């Protein structure tokens, strides 16, 4: 019973870590795209 509990806890930790990595990567990509859009719209205005 103890081994099953430890295994379940380890699997839960792995799933949680994977979810954090995926959501972090998506957030970084979205922010980078937003920063590029902001820079292009503000720095490359027609004169």
The answer to the question of residue 10 being in a domain is: no
Q: In the prediction, which pLDDT does 28 show?
A: 95
Q: In the prediction, which pLDDT does 14 show?
A: 98
The answer to the question of residue 41 being in a domain is: yes
Domain containing residue 31: 21-47
CA atoms within 13 A on the CB side of 44: 6
- Name the pTM for this structure: 0.66
* CB-CB neighbours of 46 under 10 Å: 3
Tokens of 1: 């019973």
Nearest partner of 33 among 41, 44, 22, 45, judged by Cα: 41
CA atoms within 13 A on the CB side of 42: 6
Task: End-to-end CA distance of the chain: give it in Å, rounded.
Answer: 72
Q: In the prediction, which pLDDT does 46 show?
A: 64
Q: What is the mean pLDDT of each run of 10 residues along the chain (47 residues)?
A: 90 98 96 84 71
The answer to the question of residue 7 being in a domain is: no
Q: In the prediction, which pLDDT does 36 show?
A: 83
């Amino acid at each position: 019973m103890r081994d099953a509990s430890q295994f379940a806890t380890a699997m839960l930790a792995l799933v949680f870590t994977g979810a954090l990595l995926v959501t972090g990567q998506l957030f970084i990509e979205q922010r980078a795209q937003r920063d590029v859009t902001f820079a292009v719209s503000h720095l490359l205005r027609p004169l």
